[in-house]
Amino acid sequence: MSERTLIKNLAAASDGPTSVSGWVETVRDQKKVQFVVLRDESGAVQLVHPRAFGEDGAPLEDALADTISGLAQGTFLTATGELKHDERVKLGGVEIKLDSIVTTAPAIAETPIADDSGIDKRMDWRFLDLRVPKHALVFKIQTTLEHAWRTYWVENDFIELHTPKLMASASESRAELFEVEYFDTKAYLAQSPQFFKQMAQPAGFGKIFEVGPAFRADPSFTSRHATEFTSVDAEISWIDSHEDVMKMHEELLVAGFEAVKAKHGAEIEALYGITLEVPTTPFPRIPLAEAKRIVAERGYEVPRHDDDMDPEGERQIAAYVKETFGHDFVFLTDYASSIRPFYHMRNAEDAGITNSYDLVFNGVEISTGAQREHRVDVLIEQAKEKGLDPEELDFYLDFFRYGVPTHGGFGMGLSRVLMLMLGLPNLRETTYLFRGPNRLLP
């Protein structure tokens, strides 16, 4: 591999010979001098080539000038020349006076997307869309965020798991299952690692986490739903209630925000106009019934067709929390057992509610967590209440027949966290390759 300098390192390098590689962002082909802005994964630099003229003022033969004139936006190339520091150069205070250009792969002159292209068109040409620094920054942030979370987990003695995504039975509701042929039978794509992360508790693992794909056959076309998404999950043993899960959850998020702010805060401010704030702990906690009363007092009645909080209710309670506590996060607790999965533990004093929560961030729910029911007889009865056949769940119920500690955990959508962190309007912006009811390409 030939020696190549990353553009971000040019400012600290000494004047003299250098070589950079990347794609052409812009070409300014002027009469006396040519400028090329070249970008790589780390930044952009200006390349300069003064045209050659004879004594009579006529342009001389110049193969390099001809090459530059023929460059199309997006062409990948390697440029060699003399690095020069010049504070007058707006782009990084350095420029490279060209000696040569070697084209690795030319681009078609007409690009299929522009700055004002719609989200669907941009998704069609995602590899071009991600050349835009603002869009690429999302995935640098994602890398930092996940690394900070893993660091928190590992330093707190969690074990990382990779659970199977092919299942013999539903982990939650058959209504949102993708069914696939599996030899002479049927299998289902996992909606979550719920059963398998719970299996680690009677195995004696104590504390586990997973970051992996999950699938929901949900025909939703909203800005915050996807049929395939990255689920961030954790499960811990020996808890007293869902409060223990919430404490771990908020500590994890703080660790992630601190890392992102330290590494990318300036870029986020420059490209998104957002000053990233690290949330304080503890996050506000509001029982769902109280949250609904607060929302009603603000002039919005949550529809009574179920016991959940709808999207407008989430926005309203988030606004209240921001005004009252100056906080971007709120735990909504004590959800009704009628809308929670059979494996959520019910409150010891009121079986109509569960030891569970939703975490709302900037007006959108990003996570559900709960204490799990660990008593097998209770689990069987709650499964029956939900219309599930205990025989189909027998492999899961076996986890609880040979001793299991009290435990609980959460599942959280990675792309939603990023979307709300950066104030973006659509989950597609923070998903590398989005999958929805009408999108399987690219």
Q: How far apart, in whole angstroms, are the C-alpha atoms of residue 243 and residue 245?
A: 5
| Residue 415 annotated as lining a ligand binding site | yes
Q: Are strands 33-40 and 329-333 parallel, antiparallel or unpaired?
A: unpaired
| Residue 372 annotated as lining a ligand binding site | yes
| Residue 413 annotated as lining a ligand binding site | yes
Partners of 226 in the beta sheet?
A: none
| Residue 416 annotated as lining a ligand binding site | yes
**Residues 6 or more apart whose Cβ sits within 8 Å of residue 323:** none
**Residues 6 or more apart whose Cβ sits within 8 Å of residue 230:** 211, 212, 213, 214, 413, 414, 415
| Residue 172 annotated as lining a ligand binding site | yes
| Residue 273 annotated as lining a ligand binding site | no
Angle formed at CA 176 by CA 195 and CA 226, multiple of 5 degrees: 100
| Residue 265 annotated as lining a ligand binding site | no
- Give the tokens for residue 283: 């996050």
Please enumerate, by residue number, every residue annotated as part of a binding site for ATP.
365, 413-416
Binding residues: 172, 216, 365, 368, 372, 413-416
Annotated binding site for L-aspartate: 172, 216, 368, 372
